[in-house]
Amino acid sequence: MARPKTRTKPASQETSRSEDAPNPVWFKPVMFGFMLLGLAWIIVFYVSQNSLPIQQLGPGNILVGFGIMFIGFLMTTRWR
């Protein structure tokens, strides 16, 4: 008895993995939003002469601002 032929997909035509899928619509605005929010945090800290955004942190506000921007920069590594 003859064996029925089965078709197999070549390796180059395999279904795309989730890693290759494009980013969701919200990804880019959130990424740039984090970067701009961090920048705004630092600018407000300098313009207010250490009284805003959180007075108790003092110079620690710079670290908070850079931390928020860093989250946005980390998101750029996943941008497709």
Question: What domain count does the chain have?
Answer: 1
Asked whether residue 79 is domain-assigned, the answer is yes
Question: What pTM was computed for the model?
Answer: 0.71
Kindly give the parts of the chain with pLDDT less than 50.
none
Asked whether residue 62 is domain-assigned, the answer is yes
Asked whether residue 61 is domain-assigned, the answer is yes
pLDDT at position 9, please?
61
- Residue 66 CB neighbour total at 10 angstroms: 14
All residues at 6 or more sequence positions from 39 whose CB lies less than 8 Å from its CB, including other chains: 65, 69
Q: What residue numbers bound the domain in which 71 lies?
A: 39-80
Q: Exposed/middle/buried for 70, CB within 10 Å: 0-12, 13-18, 19+?
A: middle
Q: Exposed/middle/buried for 53, CB within 10 Å: 0-12, 13-18, 19+?
A: middle
